[in-house]
């Protein structure tokens, strides 16, 4: 495996930073090397946040922003009005959108699941905002980024509330390949 790079676009309070950490943890449980790092300005709820995850068979010696990702994850599609989330995406790159509508990102393979509806249906809400970190992990597992067993294990270690695993299971089932 060559290094696989993921860029996650979210808003503060949605769980994008935690999603990156959970994805790296799941990759580690799959026997891979992984690193996760966030990038944000003056942090506040609702502000755009970008998180980065690298996964490889070999030790990862770089800890920086990802300019040419293999996968772009967008947890809030309104960010696409202000930020070119596809900038630098590799020609064969993949896009995941949190959306209730099937969307596409030009020539890139695009997957969608309504993570917001899943989080709301399970009551995964903090300060009025749906928390999307655990459901997105289920979708990423279905896409083959990491194994679903490792996703469930990483979530269980981080969160005691079983609704988080159920959210991942729902997104896993709802993603159509």
Provide the whole-model pTM. 0.94
pLDDT digits (tens, 9 = 90+) for 77-117: 999 998 899 999 999 999 999 999 887 667 899 999 999 99
Q: What is the pLDDT of residue 55?
A: 98
pLDDT digits (tens, 9 = 90+) for 124-148: 999 888 999 999 999 999 999 999 9
Asked if 90 and 70 count as a contact pair (C-beta separation under 8 A), the reply is yes
Longest dimension (CA), the chain: 41
**pLDDT band at residue 17 using 50, 70 and 90 as cut-offs:** very high
Indicate if the alpha-carbon torsion angle 10, 11, 12, 14 is positive or negative: negative
Percent of the chain with pLDDT over 70: 94
Collapse the DSSP code of 12 into the 3-class scheme (helix H, G, I; strand E, B; otherwise coil) and give the result: coil
Q: What is the pLDDT of residue 39?
A: 82
Asked if 2 and 69 count as a contact pair (C-beta separation under 8 A), the reply is no
- Domains of the chain: residue spans and CATH: 4-174 (3.40.920.10)
What is d(CA 81, CA 74) in angstroms, rounded to the nearest whole number? 12
Tell me the chain's radius of gyration from C-alpha atoms.
15
pLDDT value at 177 more than 80: no
């Amino acid at each position: 495996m060559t290094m696989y790079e993921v860029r996650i676009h979210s808003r503060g309070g949605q769980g994008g930073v935690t999603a990156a950490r959970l994805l790296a943890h799941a990759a580690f449980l799959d026997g891979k090397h992984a690193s996760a790092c966030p990038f944000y300005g003056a942090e506040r709820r609702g502000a755009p946040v970008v998180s980065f995850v690298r996964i490889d068979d070999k030790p990862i010696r770089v800890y920086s922003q990802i300019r040419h990702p293999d996968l772009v994850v967008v947890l809030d599609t309104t960010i696409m009005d202000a930020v070119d989330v596809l900038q630098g995406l590799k020609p064969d790159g993949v896009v995941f959108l949190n959306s209730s509508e099937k969307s596409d990102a030009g020539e890139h393979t695009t997957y969608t699941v309504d993570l917001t509806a899943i989080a709301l249906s399970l009551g995964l809400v903090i300060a009025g905002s749906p928390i999307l970190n655990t459901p997105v992990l289920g979708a990423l597992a279905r896409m083959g980024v990491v194994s679903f067993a490792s996703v469930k294990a990483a979530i269980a270690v981080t969160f005691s509330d079983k609704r988080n695993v159920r959210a991942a299971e729902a997104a896993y089932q709802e993603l159509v390949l």
